[in-house]
Structure 1
Amino acid sequence: MTRLPIVHHPDYDARFSPVHRFPMGKYTLLMKALTERGIVERASLHRPGPAPAAWLGLAHQRGYVDRVVNQSVPREIERMIGFEVNERVARRSALACAGTVLTGRLALEEGLACNTAGGSHHARREHGAGFCVFNDVAVAAEVLRAGGEARRILIVDVDVHQGDGTAMIFADEPNVFTLSIHGAKNYPLIKAKSDLDIDLPDGTEDEAYLEHLDDGLKRAIHFFPQPDLAFYLAGVDPHEEDRLGRLSLTDEGLARRDRMALTFLRERGIPVACVLGGGYSRNMESLGRRHAIVFGVAEELV
């Protein structure tokens, strides 16, 4: 049996208070869920080190990178991010970026790989926003492109919030294609322009969602044929119980979504690097299990 490559570091969890708006403990609870399902035992585990500043500077202004590394981010930007950028947060942000780089490399080698963090798609070149310090997928795409490991990169973002930071970073880059399927009335209030945006009304349920996703994947490949690598941002915040989601997908709907996207890409020979994306629930154990869904689907396809 081929082992699913999983990238993880314990310090993805920056140990926020359990009552903090951002459910930081989900990274630890995801590994608990993956262990309980036997996925960890069957996987090949990989641990990243922190991304060097030179990598981070490929997608972000170097001044901002330095302020994060030195924990000197201005208060107004911390308010846009949603939490203080202290030593633990700076470390987890650099680790998540390196983890997504490693996940991309493993996907290029093995066909499919998963990171237990990542998907920080609101961070733009100038600064972070929306619980995102660095844009790990943008960093990884630029690292892999700069090293000649991948030239054409497709980003499929199914988080319920538009990947506005990613869209802005790659707005003028023809060799990176951004697809975002998201809630029309959800954060961010002012949307950026992805290469392909699919705006969904509040309350969208499984069947309608999957129809839109199927159409979006086909259109993306039509507009952007033969990518060398795809990043899949598997946010679980479209779930009906998510407190920030406003859509109505079930657990089964999330699994069908992930199976549709990953199967579509792998049937076309496109390596896929999966990253976690958003998920916001008061029930943290359920949130960890929900984030584990994409790993179970990926394990079926390796």
Structure 2
Amino acid sequence: MTLATFFVQCLNSMQYGLLLFLVASGLTLVFGIMGIVNLAHGSFYMIGAYLAYSLTALTGNLFVALALGLVLSLIFGYLLEWVFFSFLYERDHLQQVLMTYGLILVIEELRSILIGDDVHGVAVPAFLAGSISIGNDMLYPVYRLFVSAACVVLALALYWLIRKTRVGMKIRAGASNREMAQSLGIDIGLLYRVVFSLGFGLAVMSGMLFAPVSTVYPGMGAQMLIVCFLVVVIGGIGSITGAFVAALLIGFVDTFGKVLWQEGAGIAIYLLMAVILLVRPAGLLGERAAR
């Protein structure tokens, strides 16, 4: 492996890891704070990809589509928690799994009715469609660098929200002890809607950002859901910092596994999870929540 190839794979690993963090951080918030096992989280990622396709076709501009998609995702996430997820808090995990699996089927059927079952592509904006030269014969797409930068900005915004704002303080209090937080006057119902809306929005934005890199196709959220649960388990349930570290680890292991160990690349991230859980059964930062 040449130095240029190694550098390109490092960029790919960072981009994939940052994308995983954005999707998995929403799942971490919902799972760690609200206590809901949400199997439909991967479908939220798929909704983002289809929103990118539909809104870009409608407006002719990916950035306008991203802005519209962000607003729509926050509104729809708020309404979805109110209409559906607010009834799951008192149910056991088996019922949560069954009901959120049913939501996957509903989302897939609505997608089929509204958009169809074809595979679609989303055009990269013209000024981001080029490539930069790395080494003598290696090119790296500019849009992938833009995705990595956008993920970093969103990750920093999430950190600022959780650590530096009153809303974040309430989120951390609710994660630490929801009964005590409620007794201090925090509206837990409203807090849960905000948390779920935030998690939904992060998953949707991830799907929208990554849609021009890959194709938009039915069921694309299933594989993402599996990897996101790996991120949550490896990082530690409820730990945003742990999710960040775990996502980057998975990004590097998966990317370099496909390059260096093609026969076993499919199990590399599962081996990583097994090794970490043997050493840290609660995950990397599982002893701390909502960091």
Between 1 and 2, higher relative CO (CA 8 Å, sep ≥ 6) is seen in 2
Higher gyration radius (CA): 2
Larger relative strand fraction: 1
Larger relative helix fraction: 2
TM over 0.5: no
TM-score, with length taken from structure 2: 0.26
